[in-house]
Amino acid sequence: MDPLIIGRVVGDVIDNFNPSVRMCVTYNNKQVYNGHEFFPSSVTLKPRVQVLDGDLKSFFTLIMTDPDVPGPSDPYLKEHLHWIVTDIPGTTDATFGKEMVTYELPRPNIGIHRFAFILFRQNRRGTVVPPCSRDRFCTKKFAEDNQLGLPVAAVYFNCQRETAARRR
């Protein structure tokens, strides 16, 4: 839990919680660990997100958000929503869920942005309502509005704009 606090994901995006479900996020077979850096060119396709716990009768909602819009030194636009998948059965991955908001690849322009994956346990299937907009999204409010409670898992990575030289 400490990296989420140090990286200010707890506080800026979600409230403090006790992780109770294991989640594995991978881009091109590279696992996402808290605070590791990925280049925008390596996160163009949606990641594989596995829910490793629960059972087929439990359902989860996955949110991917960027709390550093437009830039980390002055994130006055707060969160930008990149992806929502609902109704993910336990012990499966996001492809078994319902993609409510399509994956939008990270394109940070200014500074190093955090991209957080937050997993919530749903009370029951088919109960999550999509947000009106990707802009000025608030994970805490979305969770409250959809009675999702506190997260059960979270992980984040850092990403910054690539120069042409870095892509080579």
- pLDDT, tens digit (0-9, with 9 covering 90-100), for 99-137: 999 999 999 999 999 999 999 999 999 999 999 999 999
Query: What are the φ/ψ torsions at residue 167 (nearest 5 degrees)?
Result: -75, -20
pLDDT tens per residue, range 83-96: 999 999 999 999 99
Please tell me the predicted confidence (pLDDT) of residue 3: 96
CATH number for the domain formed by residue range(s) 3-163? 3.90.280.10
Nearest to 32 by CA among 152, 134, 120, 118: 118
| Domain boundary assignment for the chain | 3-163
**Tens of pLDDT, residues 19-36:** 999 999 999 999 999 999
Contact indicator for 91, 53 with CB cutoff of 8 Å: yes
Task: Please give the share of the chain, as a percent, with pLDDT higher than 90.
Answer: 90
Predicted TM-score (pTM) of the model is 0.95
